[in-house]
Amino acid sequence: MLSIQEIKKYSYFKNLSENCLKEVSTQLETLIVPPGTEIVKQNAPADYMYFIKNGEVEVTRRNKHGQNAKITNLKTGEIFGEMALLTCSSRHNTVTALSEVTLYRLGRSDFDSILLKDASLKRLIEGKICDYKSYNEIKTLQPLALLTPEKMSALMEKFLQKSYKKGEVIINEGDLGDYYYIIQKGKASVKRGDNIIDFITVGDGFGEEALIRDKKRNATITALEDVTLFALNKDDFNELLKKSHLDYTFSEDIAENSMSKYVFIDVRIPPEYEEDHIAGAINIPLEELRSKFSELDPNTEYLTYCTNDSRGMAAAFLMASQGFKAKNLRGGLSSWLGPFINQKNGIYYPQNEGMSEDEEDAMIERLLNKKKSLAQ
């Protein structure tokens, strides 16, 4: 049983009256759980709140794509499970023991009894719920679901909230890219030229391609109903999201006998793919990638590429933000040293697709040196 002084160490309870503290101390049950135990499970009925005496737990939430988004870790001296009791709802999250954990738990009826006796405790918990609800909602938007809590905290300070009425254009094809967007509420259409090519809704991110490729917008996004967005400017996108979701591998790091480990995705348009591509690669143009996610295997390792880098980078970002194991093949087809289909003259030189002159020169020099070393 916890003493009154020990209960006061838990932030919610430090200002409770002596009578309430005594009541809590007599109603707590002790529970010891081994590592890996799901202490509470998302969507399950709520019957207890928990005090962590020692050990560490992880709080996660499964998003609409079936991925577990990490919310936070909790350690000795912290509390969880109280929000579902207060709101009379099912569990919002899953809490799993990361180590052996010793807990004290308080049942629903005892919790309700204490709230009735101490209005200040109820106000304190209600305030925390309001803050936590905002964090939890943003955290499970798909492009953010796989970020660490530290990155999430930084992003929450940077986001702007923007609203658009039904029929209003959010971005215009041909405009310069300045923001990355995530839909918080509503639905929008994606139109290229005269054709609607896609629809996007709550949790979907868009606008990354123009920022990553440093190109103009290649589609018009129009609100189909009233839409609320989170907007992140280009500098913050590059620093906080691009770095989190965009990873690379180099051609020389892939041994020919390990190619079967990967699925190569050529994200160029079909005529480019048919002219020359990496042996065994499949062709999914960048413009169609979102619509193909349901056909891809989240357990497979993917390498995306284009002629050089820019479309391949945008594809790797999109896939990684959805939880796929995807990296960009740095330098794309221009840097590839392995087997080609219809390769030309043994080397495919860059055509300055999103690369600076210095980067292009350095890549060509590196490739030529590699060719020489292989020939020796």
Match 């709802």 to its residue by tokens.
Answer: 89
CA gap 252, 329 in Å, rounded: 10
- pLDDT value, residue 237: 93
- To the question of pTM greater than 0.85 for the whole model, the response is no
- Whether the pLDDT of residue 275 is over 70: the answer is yes
The answer to whether the CB of 102 falls within 8 A of the CB of 76 is no
Q: Does this chain's domain 4-140 share its CATH topology with 153-240?
A: yes
Give the bridge partners for 229, in sequence order: 162, 183
Q: For residue 44, what pLDDT band results from cuts at 50, 70 and 90?
A: very high
**In CATH, which of 3.60.110.10, 3.50.50.60, 2.60.120.10, 3.20.20.70 is domain 4-140?**
2.60.120.10
pLDDT band of residue 352 (cuts 50, 70, 90) is very low
Please name the residues in contact with 102: beta carbons below 8 A apart, sequence gap of 6 or more. 30, 31, 32, 52, 53, 54, 55
**What is residue 120's predicted lDDT score, i.e. its pLDDT?**
67
User: Which token pair is 20?
Assistant: 């309430």
- pLDDT higher than 70, residue 351: no
3-state secondary structure of 206: strand
Residue 287 binned pLDDT confidence (cut-offs 50, 70, 90): confident
Rounded to an integer, the average pLDDT of 279-289 is 92
Query: Across the chain, what does the average pLDDT equal?
Result: 82
**What does the DSSP assignment read for 303-355?**
EEE-SSSHHHHHHHHHHHHTT-EEEEETTGGGG--S-EES--TT------SS-
For residues 169-193, give the mean pLDDT: 93
pLDDT for 129 beyond 90: no
Question: Quick check: 350 pLDDT over 50?
Answer: no
Q: Which fold has domain 246-375?
A: Oxidized Rhodanese; domain 1 (3.40.250)
Q: Report, in angstroms and rounded to the nearest whole number, the Rg of the chain calculated over CA atoms.
A: 26
pLDDT band at 185 (very low <50, low <70, confident <90, very high): very high
Give the span between the Cα atoms of 105 and 37, in whole angstroms: 15
pLDDT on residue 146: 74
SS3 at position 247:
coil
Among candidate residues 71, 185, 206, 66, the one with its CA nearest the CA of residue 139: 71
Among 52-61, 115-124, 127-136, 274-283, where is mean pLDDT lowest?
A: 127-136
The confidence score (pLDDT) of residue 342 equals 74
Q: Tokens representing 88?
A: 């009379």
CA angle 72, 74, 78 (to 5 degrees): 135
Q: Which tens digits make up the pLDDT trace of 235-253?
A: 999 988 888 889 999 988 8
| Nearest-angstrom CA–CA distance, 136 and 128 | 12
Q: What is the pLDDT of residues 319-348, one digit of tens each?
A: 988 888 899 999 998 889 888 887 554 444
Report d(CA 101, CA 51) in Å as an integer.
10
Check if the beta carbon of residue 297 is closer than 8 Å to that of residue 291: no
Q: Residue 140 and residue 357: Cα distance in Å, rounded? A: 40
Of 20-24, 225-229, 311-315, the least confident: 20-24
Pairing of strands 56-62, 68-75: antiparallel
**Residues 139, 149: Cα–Cα separation, whole Å:** 9
CB atoms within 10 A of CB 131: 9
- The whole-number pLDDT of residue 265 equals 97
Contacts of 145 (CB under 8 A, 6+ apart): 63, 65, 67, 69, 139, 323
Tell me the percentage of the chain whose pLDDT exceeds 90. Answer: 38
Task: Report the pLDDT value the prediction gives residue 29, as an integer from 0 to 100.
Answer: 87
Number of Cβ within 10 Å of residue 259's Cβ equals: 16
What is the per-residue pLDDT across 66-101, written as a single tens digit (0 to 9) for each?
667 777 889 988 889 887 887 777 888 899 999 999
The domain segmentation of the chain, as residue ranges, is 4-140, 153-240, 246-375
What is residue 371's predicted lDDT score, i.e. its pLDDT?
Answer: 45
137-141, 207-211, 247-251: least confident range: 137-141
What is the third-level CATH fold of 153-240? Jelly Rolls (2.60.120)
For 6-17, the pLDDT digits (tens) are 776 776 666 677
Supply the pLDDT for residue 71.
Answer: 77
Contact 349, 370 (CB under 8 A): no
Q: How far apart are CA 263 and CA 184, in angstroms?
A: 33
Residue 203 has pLDDT above 90, yes or no: no
Average pLDDT of the residues in 19-43: 87
Burial class (CB in 10 A: 0-12, 13-18, 19+), 158: middle
Band the pLDDT of 363: cuts 50, 70, 90.
Answer: low
Is there a contact between 354 and 308 (Cβ–Cβ < 8 Å)? Answer: yes
